[in-house]
């Protein structure tokens, strides 16, 4: 398996299956870990970083979960490949910006990736389709247990797992879910919902866009606190909140179909029309219409389209993906043309 | 629409990356040019603003003092440097800056003690013992090489670990 194989293969979370997958696109658990008696990456010399990298890699290659996967050192791949990995959520932007001494190990089905020498020595994530926080955590805990047999973690009985930033100390866990909330936006209730989430001490942010001007209607909800609460408590409280948000979105969809069904069909039909026929289209416009199309599929307002194809397009139409697919560097204006052509090819026949 | 905003950092290029994060009920907005955003490692997964938030927090907890600045023996990080970068230098910093970090942890997490998963006791004791062996060997080498400063550091570290191991006892922590 090499990096170019990733371009052709879908990520498991693109499948669009799992509980509540009509609203919860994906679930994710990330653990941050560091090695005992080793300088954190931000302060380590290149030599210290390389030593840590080699120690961790030696442990990770022994794990069943990463067998047959892909190890990529950040100084051995080019900027386009780094951006490509970030667009797939396999690495963070921070790791993509790192150089020698940093690496990522990706499991064959891409549902797990482990970053070495990002902000912490080790950060690994499990990302699954649908509302499956507990499944994510079970896998993450298993990987953690296997790593701990092979590496000595920086751990304090008082403070838990020690991280480079005090905001991650304790459990070192970040539990999050990506929610698609187009109906709450259409009925203008999104602000109330987001405020309520924040009041409960959770973090929420738009996947695309800024401030009150979100686009793509995708939101990530995650825990903020990592110390003084157990993994179980953190997951349970996040699950509760997400369940309520899912219910609000469901109610909003029901009320829309009752009161404004023609307008809804029109919106979905127009989005499909543009995506199937446009020749020049920006990333933002694409994401907006893909969101509408996904809502149309999830509410059975449109036939002959499946979730997975639309999910894939969210990722494939991103800048680095377009360039990897066409096999060459393209500037923004050429990308808009290439994006139009990709969308027409993929959507016209169905 | 109004004319385009300039980047909040370089104040030169037009801001094309708009970033919003809500932390502890505060909305934080940043408008950056592509280059500054990249330098900040900004993206969907980036935890941006942590340094800024910590800076704000620690400033309010800062004590007036003329004492020499506290520095971590293991990695050399000073507390004022931590305030700037928002990242600690090594696991030992948590002990070195224990008092200074306490109010920060309490602000961020509302708690100051870990509850939850721990490495299995067997793994902990085993690795601590292994590590103690390594440190003792290194201590002998340091004394032989007349590196007394290093030897003193190693001695303190060994003492600390032994104490920790005793505290953990046969049942583990």
For the ranges A130-139, A188-197, A331-340, B112-121, the lowest mean pLDDT is seen at B112-121
- β-partners of residue A105 are A71, A114
Tell me the average pLDDT across A129-151: 96
Closest CA of chain B from A208, distance in Å: 8
Tell me the average pLDDT across B128-153: 80
Tell me the average pLDDT across A210-223: 79
Per-residue pLDDT of B44-65, as tens digits, reads: 333 334 555 555 555 555 555 5
Confidence category of residue A196, pLDDT binned at 50, 70, 90: very high
Q: Which of B27, B95, B123 lies nearest to residue A149, judging by beta carbons? A: B123
Which residues in chain B have Cβ-Cβ distances shorter than 8 Å to A154? Answer: 91
Q: Which residue has the higher pLDDT, B12 or A247?
A: A247
CB contact under 8 A, A228 and B110: yes
Distance of CA B167 to the CA centre of its chain: 25
Distances (CA, A) of A212 to A191, A215, A219, B50: 8, 9, 12, 21
For the ranges A211-225, A251-265, B29-43, the lowest mean pLDDT is seen at B29-43
What pLDDT does A326 receive?
92
What pLDDT does B58 receive?
55
Q: Which residue has the higher pLDDT, A322 or B54?
A: A322
CB contact under 8 A, A231 and B116: yes
| Greatest mean pLDDT among A323-327, B6-10, B55-59 | A323-327
Q: How far apart are the first and last CA of chain A?
A: 31
Which of A85, A199, A206, A227 to mutate: most B Cβ within 10 Å? A227
Confidence category of residue B69, pLDDT binned at 50, 70, 90: confident
CB contact under 8 A, B74 and A157: no
Instruction: Say what the pTM is.
Output: 0.79
Confidence category of residue B141, pLDDT binned at 50, 70, 90: confident
What pLDDT does A15 receive?
86
The rounded distance, in Å, linking the Cα atoms of A200 and A237 is 9
Average pLDDT, rounded, for chain B: 73
Q: In what order do the strands lie in the sheet with A24-33?
A: A70-73, A103-106, A112-116, A122-129, A24-33, A173-180, A213-223, A202-210
Average pLDDT, rounded, for chain A: 93
- Residue B101, pLDDT > 90, answer yes
Tell me the average pLDDT across A282-293: 95
Distances (CA, A) of A220 to A242, B16, B36, B121: 10, 22, 24, 35
The rounded distance, in Å, linking the Cα atoms of B129 and B132 is 5
- Residue A24, pLDDT > 60, answer yes
Q: Which of B77, B104, B127 lies nearest to residue A43, judging by beta carbons? A: B77
Q: Which residues contact A118 (CB under 8 A, 6 or more apart)?
A: A41, A91, A92, A94, A95, A98, A102
Tell me the average pLDDT across A243-258: 97
What pLDDT does B158 receive?
84
What pLDDT does B32 receive?
72
Tell me the average pLDDT across A224-229: 95
Per-residue pLDDT of A253-282, as tens digits, reads: 999 999 999 999 999 999 999 999 999 999
Which of B58, B76, B84, B90 to mutate: most A Cβ within 10 Å? B90
For the ranges A234-243, A308-317, B118-127, B153-162, the lowest mean pLDDT is seen at B118-127
Which residues in chain B have Cβ-Cβ distances shorter than 8 Å to A127? Answer: none
Q: Quick one: which of A209, A23, A148, A225 has its CA closest to B110?
A: A225
What pLDDT does B127 receive?
56
Tell me the average pLDDT across A145-172: 96
Residues 17-76 of B with CB under 8 A from A: 18-25, 27, 29, 31, 38-39, 41-47, 50, 53-54, 74-76
- Residue B172, pLDDT > 70, answer no
- Residue A214, pLDDT > 70, answer no
The three state secondary structure string of chain A is: CCHHHHHHCCCHHHHCCCCCCCCEEEEEEEEEECECCCCCCCCCCHHHHHHHHHHHHHHHCCCHHHCCCEEEEHHHCCHHHHHHHHHCCCCCHHHHCCCCCCEEEECCCCCEEEEECCCCCEEEEEEEECCCHHHHHHHHHHHHHHHHHHCCECEECCCEECCCCHHHCECCEEEEEEEECHHHHHCCCHHHHHHHHHHCCEEEEEEEEECCEEEEEEEEEEECCCCCCCHHHHHHHHHHHHHHHHHHHHHHHHHHHHHCHHHHHHHHHHHHHHHHHCCCCCHHHHHHHHHHHHHHHHCCCCCCCCHHHHHHHHHHCCHHHHHHHHCCCCCHHHHHHHHHHHHHHHHHCC
Inter-residue contact A113 to A100 (CB < 8 Å): no
Confidence category of residue B120, pLDDT binned at 50, 70, 90: confident
What pLDDT does B1 receive?
39
């Amino acid at each position: 398996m090499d990096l170019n194989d990733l371009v052709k293969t879908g990520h498991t979370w693109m499948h669009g299956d799992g509980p509540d997958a009509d609203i919860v696109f994906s679930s994710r658990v990330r653990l941050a870990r560091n090695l005992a008696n080793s300088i954190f990456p931000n302060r380590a010399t290149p030599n210290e970083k390389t030593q840590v990298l080699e120690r961790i890699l030696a442990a990770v290659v022994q794990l069943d979960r990463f067998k047959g996967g892909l190890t990529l050192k950040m100084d051995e791949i080019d900027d386009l490949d780094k951006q490509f990995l970030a667009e797939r959520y396999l690495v963070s932007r921070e790791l993509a910006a790192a150089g020698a001494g940093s690496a990522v190990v990706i499991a064959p089905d891409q549902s797990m990736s482990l970053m070495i020498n990002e902000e912490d020595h080790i950060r690994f994530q499990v990302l699954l389709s649908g509302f499956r926080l507990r499944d994510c955590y079970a896998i993450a805990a298993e990987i953690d247990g296997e790593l701990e047999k092979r590496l000595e973690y920086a751990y304090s009985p008082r403070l838990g797992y020690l991280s480079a930033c005090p905001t991650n100390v304790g459990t070192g866990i970040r539990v999050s879910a990506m929610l698609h909330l187009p109906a709450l936006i259409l009925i203008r209730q999104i602000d109330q919902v987001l405020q309520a989430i924040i009041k409960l001490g959770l973090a929420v942010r738009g996947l695309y866009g800024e401030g009150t001007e979100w686009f793509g209607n995708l939101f990530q909800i995650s825990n903020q606190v990592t110390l003084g609460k157990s993994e179980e408590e953190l997951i349970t409280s996040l699950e509760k909140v997400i369940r309520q948000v899912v219910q609000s979105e469901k109610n909003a969809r029901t009320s829309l179909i009752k009161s404004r069904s023609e307008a809804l069909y029109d919106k979905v039909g127009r989005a499909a029309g543009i995506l199937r026929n446009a020749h020049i289209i920006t990333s933002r416009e694409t994401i907006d219409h893909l969101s509408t199309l996904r809502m149309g599929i999830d509410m059975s307002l449109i036939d002959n389209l499946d979730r997975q194809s639309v999910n894939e397009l969210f990722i494939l139409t991103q800048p680095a993906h377009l360039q990897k697919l066409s096999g060459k560097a393209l500037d923004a204006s050429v990308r808009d043309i290439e994006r139009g052509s990709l969308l027409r090819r993929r959507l016209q026949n169905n | 629409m109004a004319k385009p905003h300039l980047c909040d950092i370089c104040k030169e290029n037009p801001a094309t990356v708009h970033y919003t994060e809500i932390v502890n009920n505060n909305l934080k907005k940043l408008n950056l040019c592509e280059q500054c955003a990249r330098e900040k490692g900004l993206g969907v997964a980036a935890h941006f603003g942590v340094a800024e938030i910590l800076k704000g927090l620690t400033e309010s907890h800062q004590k007036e003092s003329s004492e020499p600045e506290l520095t971590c023996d293991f990695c050399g990080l000073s507390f004022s440097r931590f305030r700037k970068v928002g990242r600690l230098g090594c696991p030992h910093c948590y002990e070195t800056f224990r008092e200074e970090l306490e109010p920060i942890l309490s602000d961020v997490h509302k708690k100051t003690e870990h509850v939850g998963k721990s490495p299995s006791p067997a793994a902990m004791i085993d690795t601590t013992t292994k590590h103690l062996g390594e440190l003792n060997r290194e201590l002998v080498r340091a004394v032989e090489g007349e590196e007394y400063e290093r030897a003193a550091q190693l001695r303190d570290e060994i003492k600390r670990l032994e104490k920790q191991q005793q505290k953990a006892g046969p049942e583990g922590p």
